[in-house]
Amino acid sequence: MHYGESALQDILRLKPDVAILDIEMPKRTGLEVAEEIQSLNTKVIILTTFARQNYFETAVRIGVQGYLLKDSPTDRLTETINAVVKGATVYDPELVRHVLRTENNPLTEREIDVLQAIAEGKRTSAIAEAVFLSQGTVRNYISSILSKTGAQSRIEAVNIAKKHQWMNR
Amino acid sequence: MHYGESALQDILRLKPDVAILDIEMPKRTGLEVAEEIQSLNTKVIILTTFARQNYFETAVRIGVQGYLLKDSPTDRLTETINAVVKGATVYDPELVRHVLRTENNPLTEREIDVLQAIAEGKRTSAIAEAVFLSQGTVRNYISSILSKTGAQSRIEAVNIAKKHQWMNR
DNA sequence: AAATCAATATGACATTTGTCATAATGAATT
DNA sequence: AATTCATTATGACAAATGTCATATTGATTT
């Protein structure tokens, strides 16, 4: 395990063109390091296992030049390094898509669970069983889903949610 | 326009290997001619513009060796003639599919109209307006759709009908 | 520490749906 | 000619659904 602190010291000393940082490191996270060195000309690429939107968003806010997931194809890293050196900014497309999906998604986790059950054609009692909630709660959720989507009926809500890809996670 | 009667006379006289017949001809339809000559060794291919399932079904019942639509690709006719001479039987796949669809489709035209509106997420009042029916009638249709599909809810009915392709014509 | 939000629940009420009986008409089939 | 079937309708009743007010709990954010 590498220490964020030593990474920071190395970068400050060596002033590399590109620094590839993990996020979860002891002492200092990759994001903290990235923030510290933003005044340098060193480009930062975050390479991490964690697809947490929170991390991604702060990375973008700090202004890193790259953000990749460790499970993305290996040659993508080399491509990204080359692109970043040339001045480009590269964000993992999966992640961007995911953020866009959740960003505009007005539905909560539970509401999505319920909506998925609705899409299968289940009626309230069956939905309640499927998600282990009382029928009343399910009806409340549906009511909320309808008002959030602006739909007039369960089916319309499903149609709208599908169009916006709000129904997957 | 050719006469079915003269086609029949010609076939009886010439005893061809294959006879290609239209259906709608004056005096005698192609289907009548096909029926008359079934004792001969002449293979019959029906080539017609009319995609009426009624025609197709009687043709199959009579036992014709081929049934094609005039708007199918031209080389299909030559293929079919060759295949039929070799003893095969060739039915237009589109037509077969269509028949299978309507054959097992328990829904009436009107019910399909209603179900389509349901799939769009319309509620009863909106459906009634869309198909120019009273709300009561719409609810009766839905009730009937539910019992015919065995569904418990509108959405389930839509899902089932989509799976069986019962919602298009 | 306070405020916000998601998750969960209940009760009451209004509206929407689904079901059933019944009926008229016209087209198609036997 | 009689039967069947699709289309259309109404009325009455039961069940399901949607809405609203209200409340508790725990997590997250300010």
3-state secondary structure of B20: strand
- Considering all nucleic acid strands, name the nucleotide whose C1' atom is nearest to the C-alpha of residue B142: C18
pLDDT, position A115? 94
Answer yes or no: is B111 CB < 7 A from strand D: yes
Average pLDDT in chain A:
86
Confidence of residue A97 (pLDDT cuts 50, 70, 90): low
Q: State in Å, rounded, how far the first CA of chain B is from the last one.
A: 32
Q: Could you tell me which residue, A168 or A85, shows the higher pLDDT? A: A85
Domain boundaries, chain B: 3-102, 109-163
Contact indicator for B148, B106 with CB cutoff of 8 Å: yes
Residues of A in contact with B122 (CB under 8 A): 152-153, 156
Q: Kindly tell me if the per-residue pLDDT of A169 is higher than 60.
A: no
pLDDT, position B55? 77
* Across A18-27, average pLDDT: 87
Q: Which of A114, A118, A153 to mutate to test the interface with B (most CBs of B within 10 A)?
A: A153
* Across B22-50, average pLDDT: 86
The DSSP bridge partners found for residue B109 are: none
pLDDT, position A137? 94
Question: What is the third-level CATH fold of B3-102?
Answer: Rossmann fold (3.40.50)
Residue B140 and residue B35: Cα distance in Å, rounded? 44
pLDDT, position B165? 83
* Across B44-71, average pLDDT: 80
> Taking the C1' atom of D11, which residue's CA lies nearest?
B136
Q: Kindly tell me if the per-residue pLDDT of B169 is higher than 60.
A: no
A155 contacts B120? CB cut-off 8 A? yes
* Across B99-104, average pLDDT: 66
Q: Which CATH number describes the domain made up of A109-163? A: 1.10.10.10
pLDDT, position B101? 65
Q: Kindly tell me if the per-residue pLDDT of A99 is higher than 70.
A: no
Angle at B19 between CA B18 and CA B20, to 5 degrees: 120
pLDDT tens string A139-161: 999 999 998 999 999 999 999 99
